[in-house]
Each structure stands twice: as C-alpha cells, then as structure tokens.
Structure 1
Amino acid sequence: MDASVVVVGAGPAGLMLAGELRLAGIDVTVLERHAGRTGESRGIGLTIGTMEVFDQRGLLRRLGDYETSGMGHFGGIPLDMGVLGAFHEAAKTVPQSVTEEALEAWATELGADIRRGHAFVSYEETGDGVTVTVRHEDGEDRLRARYLVGCDGGRSTVRKQAGFDFPGTAATTEMLLADLRGVDLEPRMTGQHTDGGFVMVAKLPGGIHRIIVGEHGVPPRKRTGPPEFAEVADVWKRLTGIDIGHAEPVWVSAFGNASRQVTEYRRGRVLLAGDSAHVHLPAGGQGMNTSVQDSHNLGWKLAAVLRGDAPEELLDTYHSERHEVGRGLLANTRAQSLLILGGEESVPLRDVLAELVRIPGVSRHLAAKVSGLDIRYDMGGGSSPLLGRRLPHLPLTVEGRATSSTELLRTGRGVLLDLDDTAVLRRRAQPWRDRVDIVTATPGDVPADSPLAGASAVLLRPDGYVAWAAPGSHLGLSGALARWFGPALGQR
C-alpha cells in the first residue's frame, strides 16, 4: 500500500481527518487539485461545538488572535448563546483560510503527506483496498490504499465516481457575497430584511467587510464562475440605497439554498465527509463546522480499524451517528432559509419566532442546535444525562496537578475518568490500557444541577463523547470498552 488512507480534498474536513489519522499513527495522503491555498475567507466562524473540538486537540492557539461572541442567530432571529453555559463562546472572526492553515500545519507536523496540484481522477476497489488514479503536472500516478475518503466538497468527484445517491432539493434562489476593502459599513451580524430582500454585514480581520445580499423572488442564475462585483454592488444599492461601487473586492461568490444529503456515508472502502456528504444554505457557518466534526468522528474509528484494534463494523457507526446529524442540519438550515430568504409572507413567521425565543427553553434548544451542542449519540441506553453527549470542559486534579478533561483528550486516545478512586473499576479497564488512558482524578466544583453531579466514573471516546457513565449506564464498563475500542488484550 502507498498509504493506509487517501483523502481527497484539503479543505477543513480533509485536513482535520488527516490530523486525526496521524495523531493515531495512521499514514495518510491528502490529494488537493489546487496547486496552492486559495486564500479565500469562505466560512468565517467556529461554533461552540467546533471550539470544543479544537480545544481537545490543542488547536485554538494556532488560530492567532480572534474575537468571540456570546450572540448567534437562527434565520436572522438573534439568540443569546450564554443560556448554554458553555465553557467556550463561538469565534466570529476566523476566516476559513486561517482555519485551513492551522489544520494543515498541525497535520503536516504530525506527518501527513499533503500533495497539492494532484487531482483525483478515478478509483477501483479491490478486496483489500482501492487503487486511486491521480493527475498532476507530470502526468498520472496510481496510489494503492486501504480506504478512500472524499472530502472534496459539494461537487464531489469521489461521490459521483462511487455512485452515492444524493437526493434532495435544488436551489430556488441565490445570495451574493463579497469581501471588500475600502468601505466602512455598519455591522449587521444577524442580517436585516429590507423591502426587496436580505442584507448582512460582518467585519473580518484586516479591515475587510463581508456583505451578503439576496433579493426576494429572484431565481438562481446558471453560472460558470463567480459573479462580477458590479452585480453585487447593484443589488446592494437596490436593497440599501448605499453605493459601494468604489470598494475593492477581495473575493466574490454566489451560493444557493439547495439541500441534499447522501443516503449513506460509507460504501465499502469509500467514505464521505463534509460537503461531499451534505449541501445546504450556509446559515451560521454550520456547514464548515459540521464538516470538521464529521472528520473528528471518523478519524479515530478509521484508525482503530486500520490498527486492528476494532472490527470493521465500527465504521458503520460513523454513518449512523453523522447521517443523523446531517439530517438535522438540513432540516434547520431549510427552516432558516424560509426565514432569511422569504418575503412578506415570512414576516408573521419571523415575528412569532422572535416571541418564542424569549422563552428560555426555546432559546436554549435553538442555541444548542446551531452550536452543535444538541448532538447525542446512541450509547446503549441508561439514565445518565451524560451518555452520548460530549463531556463539558471539566477541571480536574490528577496526582496533585491541575488539568482538565479537555487536556486529557489531546493525545487522541480514549479516557476512563475514575472520579471516585475505585480500584475495582480500574482493574476492569486494564485489558484496554493500550487504547484507553485510565485516570484517577478529583473534579473541581460541580454544580448541583450539572449532569456531572453524582457521577463516579466516565468513559470518554477519543472524540470526547461519553460512552459509559456510572451510575446510569445500561451497558457495563467492559461491554462499553469492547463496543468502542474493540476486544480486550489477548482476545483479538
């Protein structure tokens, strides 16, 4: 084999997956058709869920200076994200280009082979792997790998080559985007409705303003490339009365409200992650953030199978967990599309929702949804509210040293947190010590209303989700360890 895994696409999903695989010791080659980074800002924020993921891998420091915000929105309706009580706030000033640069540096330092100017052409699947054909300036090569993962975006060549079904709805309208220098516009972070459409303004680093405009009732145009800036400026002036024609465009693009999702995230030795698997209106930057979390979920599972720690069936949980997340993503972005892009007929809906978000339970529900904090995976049932959720940041003391649950996950291994100094529990986990860190820890102050209150032990998967908790899990500790980390030592 030339590599254990070939990843197509060096965007956030592909680079996150490459880093996760290398963290677990798996060799990976990333193919990117562009010869260099585009430098395009694209997605401009990290949700609270992705901030937690990046913190778990020690990546936040690589982002440089960034601003955070305790506010968000659902379809342009402002939301107070503080109701979640999360350890992090969302990052609002991190362009996708910075995110990609940080992820590429991390993956490269870990030993990932990233080949720019190498375009995926086709593949053939054999019994024990895949043969990938790659085109570059010197001709074509063929790479042999155990698995192929398509992270090559909404127009994914891997998805088309592998024959994945991609049902959904086509775009009915489009929005125009421009990143500009030389203008000073009042921020409209959650957007603003005008008589003829929708406008938004966000300030980016380096004195750049991002504007987004969309006119009601205007169908999407068939384009072979990005729109001209003059078209964006004309729509902006019609909707706001402000002339921005003198500005310097840094990046101009258009996007629609198409909504599609593949029916399966895995077909044999081919898997999809990120926009290759789902496309939708990019409301609140959820697409890029969901893509990163797809790869965070897939990486450790693929590594466990390749190392021989776990059976191949573990990969089926990638589909069962992330397809459901993607389905929910499409549902909430379609709802937001009606709120953002609808005309006069949507005004009553927006008014009613603005009233509903004043109810704490409604506000918390929507804030968790757009933050990626509403995710709960099936861990076999039980009464513990921790089961299936990512463990909130928990300060800990281990052997007299201050640390946290987040820091313990930096190695990408599983973690058994013994919070009650139970020797029997630690002995039971010993047969999995090659894959799971067994840590006796004293937690910091835990509020009485916290889901952690009363917990004596917690088993964390490498992605930070709680696979088992005591008390309150139907599945025993040994069963949970075997389910997520494979057979015990000596039983493989």
Structure 2
Amino acid sequence: MHDVVIVGAGPVGLFLGCELGLAGCSVLVLERDPQPRSPWRAAPLGVRGLFASSVEALYRRGLLPALLKASGVHDDQGANVDPDEPSPPRIAGHFAGILLDPADVDLAALPFRLPSPAPEFVQTSLEAVEAVLSERAAELGVEVRYGVTVTAVTQDDVSAAVHADGHAYPARWVVGCDGGRSAVRELAGFTFVGTEPQFTGYAMLADIADPEKLRPGFNLTPTGLYIQISGPGHIGMMDFDGGGFDRSQQPTRDHLQAVLRRVSGTDVTLDAVHLASSFTDRSMQTTAYRRGRVLLAGDAAHIHSPLGGQGLNTGIGDAVNLGWKLAATVHGHAPDGLLDTYTHERHPVGAEVLDWSRAQVAVMKPDPHAQAVQGIIRDLLASRDGTTYVFEKLTGSSLRHDLDSEHPLVGRNAPDLRLQDGTRLGDLMQGGSGIVLDFTADRRLRDSAEHWGRRIRYVAGSASTDLGLGAVLVRPDGIVAWAGDRDPTPDTFERAAARWFGTPPARR
C-alpha cells in the first residue's frame, strides 16, 4: 500500500508527487494517457505562462534552472538579478484581452517586494514543465504509470483505493489531479457547482491562405476575441454563442473558418486545420476540496475559462499548499485540523479566480452594455493604479491567507530575504522543511526552534534587507506563519510553530 495515490500526471499531479516524495512519502501517480508526450502539450499548442507565485515555487525547490533550460529561456531573462533593486516585469499580462503595460506597474506599491532570482513571468509549455517535474519525481522515488483509466474510487476510515483496469491501487490517501473532467471528483461524490458558459472557445493549428488579414497578439473585437501569439496559424478564438457548440464533436474546417471570420470581421480563409479543440467559460468549483480520504487539486477542484492564464498557476498553488500538509498527516505529526486548512485556504483562492474569469467574460460580451463597461476598464487599465491592481491579482502578490495575526506579513508569500553572506530564503527552502530566519541570533529562539528537529530549520544571521523584522517563521509552502520584531518572543513563536508543525518531538 502506498501512502498516497495521485490520479493525473499533469503539472499539478507531478508537482504534488514531488512535494510528497521530498517529504519521504511513498507515492504512485496514475495517468490515463498512454504516454506523456502529445502535440497538445508541446509548443505552440501547449504554451502556457507561469506567473510569479508558480515560478517562485519552482525556484524554492531548486527546479527553476531546469525549467528555464527546458523552456528555452536564458537563466537571467526577466529575473531580478540586481541584489539590491527589484527589476520591473517584462510582461504584465492582460485583462479581458486588454494588454497591460509593464512600465505602468508601480513596484513601490507591491507589498513586501524584494529582489529574487525568480522572474515575474516565464513563458513555457506543459511539456517542458512536466519533463522537469517527471525527472525530479523519478529522483525522489515517485512512480508514474501511464495508460491507466480509473473506473472506481473507494474508501473507509483508514484507507482509500483507486480501481482501474481490473486492478485496485490501495493507499492511505487519494488525490485527484485529473483535470476538468475529473473521474475522481465524480466517482468520489464531490459536489460541483457554478455557472454555465457564455462562449465557446477554440484553439487550433492551421494553414491560413491570407494570414495578413489577421493581426498578431490579442484582438478584442465587437463580436468576440481572436489571438495569435506564437505566429500565423496558431489561433485561439472566443465566440459568444452561449456555449452552444456541441463539444462532443470535432470542429470542422468550415466551422472554424466561419467562427474566425465572424470574430475577426474579415474574410480570412483556412486552407487546412491540423489540430483543433474547443472549450468554454463554464465556471465550476467543488464545495470542499476533501471528502474523507480523497482530496482534489487543480482543475479537478475548479474549472473556468483560460482568460488570464490562471488555471495552471492556481493548480500549482493547490499542490504547494497541500503537499506538506498531507505529508505531515501521513507521518503522524500533523496538528489537529491541519489537512482541513487546505480547503480553508485554497477554496477562496479558487473562488476568486472563477470570479476573475467571469468578470472578464462580462466585459468582453458583444453587446452595448458590455462595450460601455469595456471602455471604462480600458481607461482604468491605462492608469498606474489600475495596471498595478490587475498585476497584483495575476501574479498572486496580493494573496494573503487569514492566519489570525495582525502582523501585515503573516499569511503572505514570504519575500526572498537575503542574508549578508548571500544566502537567500529560496536557497534554504529546497529541502521542504519550515524555516526560521533569526536576524538577531536570539539564543532563546534557537533553543525553542531546535525542539522541532527536521520539521523546522533554524538559520541565524544578519540580513541585507530584513524589512524591520527580528525573525520570521516560513511554512514549507512559502507562507509566513509568524513574524517577530527586533526582540522576538519565543512564546509567540512556539504557539505559531505548534499550530503548523504539531507537538515538538523533543517534548513528547
């Protein structure tokens, strides 16, 4: 019996597998597809954007150099390489097809921002992300099996099992990371609620007879949206038909040409279509991310339109949040209720992403009311404050979990604090433990932290920039759990550490 069986070997399932493997859990990942490679995962169709929170997660596990190499990105492209000054982003994203100007991002307004080797944005592909994570999973002893179709999920009070192809795969826990049409979600009885679609979207790779009739980049029109990012022939479209296209059917060349002509306002001609798929903006979320010994992450827990590129990033955030909590539960040292904080913390994030998607769809609709709102949004996004607000949302800079603390840093993603010897917080987090950074070298705090053994790593030293802190406790997922002033109090640290890391083994 494995500690955890994960269904789905996409980026979310593989990242979660790596987190659990790093913590010493036995993990089996099952994937329905017969092999990892497909044209839908490679460039150009598989191109995706990773925003700061996802890039930072890879950086903190030592995976960023491999990802940049696999993505064809120079390791200093977009990174904050100046150790003293944050650099402006090279790409700021978009809202409802309206591109943001990176020069309008107000860096001074971003909370607790420090320079980091992690870029604000990396353009990559699903294939590149999965290749890097697969290699790390193998190094950590995580087993991945392809061509396995799940037919049932069962559980009792002490274990769960995935059934597929006449075999049972028992485990102490099961996690569904198997996408928007999740078999685990349906078979385990999760409640899935939300809103119905406003449009049908299409992605295709085609030969165009007259490509000069289409503009590159994002093109928001009075009748919809079309996108050309990776060159002529790689096209995305959104047709506001109320989600009326029958997605059980493969879209034909004639249908795709008709939609493209309608949304572009041209008489462009498609000579041939090599690959095509459809999607909608149906926005749904499970009411909870855990049901007994079965949990969900990524698109299995929440689906929405791809507007803003939030799906992959939100899924990676789920995996980072869940991994260390599930590992602590497997090993028996999780404090009461730790696993339930996964839903408590990540469900609101998913709900906000769904609303973010719905808001963009409402702005893009081809009717006079939406067009009027769109004009106001364009004016707002032409301002420094408007651009910075959207940038914060896209990158996760504004995310703060409610951890019952008045300190403004607690609950936020930790800035990449740097010690005088050049060591960064990101360097210290590669082992997957909690981190105490003590800038005062307080002996009482050191003695207290050492009670938690390997769960919390204590590091002392003066900092290049300490943000006025005396010490800080960072969870394995990079969230600040406690922050002390220039005279940190061991009692307050111990309460925070016990809340997230359980009873110290030295005091049992």
Same fold (TM over 0.5): yes
Report the equivalent of 1:449: none
Deviation string, structure 1 residues 32-86 (Cα, Å, up to 9, x no partner): 1111023413451111211111111122222222375322111122224543466
Residue type of the alignment partner of 1:152: D
Report the equivalent of 2:62: 58
Report the equivalent of 1:168: 194
Report the equivalent of 2:147: 117
Query: Is 1:487 matched up with 2:491?
Result: no
DSSP-derived class of the 2:186 partner: helix
C-alpha contact 1:80 1:367 (8 A) present in aligned 2? no
Report the equivalent of 1:99: 129
C-alpha contact 1:214 1:341 (8 A) present in aligned 2? no
Which residue, 431, 452, 469 being the options, matches 1:455?
469
Residue type of the alignment partner of 1:439: V
Which residue, 40, 56, 76 being the options, matches 2:97?
76
User: Structure 1 residues 89, 347: CA separation in 2 closer, same or farther (over 3 Å shift)?
Assistant: farther
C-alpha contact 1:178 1:229 (8 A) present in aligned 2? no
User: Structure 1 residues 26, 312: CA separation in 2 closer, same or farther (over 3 Å shift)?
Assistant: farther
C-alpha contact 1:297 1:318 (8 A) present in aligned 2? yes
DSSP-derived class of the 2:271 partner: coil
Residue type of the alignment partner of 2:281: N
Structure 1 Cα separation of the partners of residues 232 and 123 of structure 2: 11
Deviation string, structure 1 residues 347-376 (Cα, Å, up to 9, x no partner): 211111122234433332221111122211
Query: Is 1:152 matched up with 2:173?
Result: no
C-alpha contact 1:376 1:389 (8 A) present in aligned 2? yes
Query: Is 1:202 matched up with 2:229?
Result: yes
Query: Is 1:243 matched up with 2:275?
Result: no
Residue type of the alignment partner of 2:7: V
Structure 2 Cα separation of the partners of residues 55 and 459 of structure 1: 19
Query: Is 1:346 matched up with 2:364?
Result: no
Q: Give percent identity, aligned residues only.
A: 36
Q: Could you tell me how far 1:426 is from its partner in structure 2?
A: 1.0
* Equivalence map 1:180-219=2 (5 Å): 180=206, 188-189=216-217, 191-203=218-230, 210-217=234-241, 219=243
Residue type of the alignment partner of 1:421: A
Deviation string, structure 1 residues 230-288 (Cα, Å, up to 9, x no partner): 43233223433263523663x32111111111110111101000011101111121011
Q: Could you tell me how far 1:332 is from its partner in structure 2?
A: 0.7
Q: Could you tell me how far 1:298 is from its partner in structure 2?
A: 0.2
Q: Could you tell me how far 1:187 is from its partner in structure 2?
A: 6.5
- CA RMSD in angstroms, aligned pairs only: 2.4
DSSP-derived class of the 1:390 partner: coil
User: Structure 1 residues 359, 30: CA separation in 2 closer, same or farther (over 3 Å shift)?
Assistant: same
Report the equivalent of 1:435: 455
C-alpha contact 2:197 2:282 (8 A) present in aligned 1? yes
C-alpha contact 1:305 1:312 (8 A) present in aligned 2? no
Query: Is 1:308 matched up with 2:332?
Result: yes
Residue type of the alignment partner of 1:58: G
User: Structure 1 residues 36, 263: CA separation in 2 closer, same or farther (over 3 Å shift)?
Assistant: same
Report the equivalent of 2:431: 411
DSSP-derived class of the 2:459 partner: strand
Structure 1 Cα separation of the partners of residues 309 and 449 of structure 2: 40
Report the equivalent of 2:296: 272
Q: TM-score, normalized by length of structure 1? A: 0.90
Residue type of the alignment partner of 1:356: L
Deviation string, structure 1 residues 212-233 (Cα, Å, up to 9, x no partner): 1123446421221442344323
User: Structure 1 residues 391, 244: CA separation in 2 closer, same or farther (over 3 Å shift)?
Assistant: farther
DSSP-derived class of the 2:379 partner: helix
Which residue, 267, 271, 278 being the options, matches 1:254?
278
Query: Is 1:233 matched up with 2:257?
Result: yes
Query: Is 1:6 matched up with 2:5?
Result: yes
DSSP-derived class of the 1:288 partner: helix
User: Structure 1 residues 47, 226: CA separation in 2 closer, same or farther (over 3 Å shift)?
Assistant: farther
User: Structure 1 residues 331, 29: CA separation in 2 closer, same or farther (over 3 Å shift)?
Assistant: same
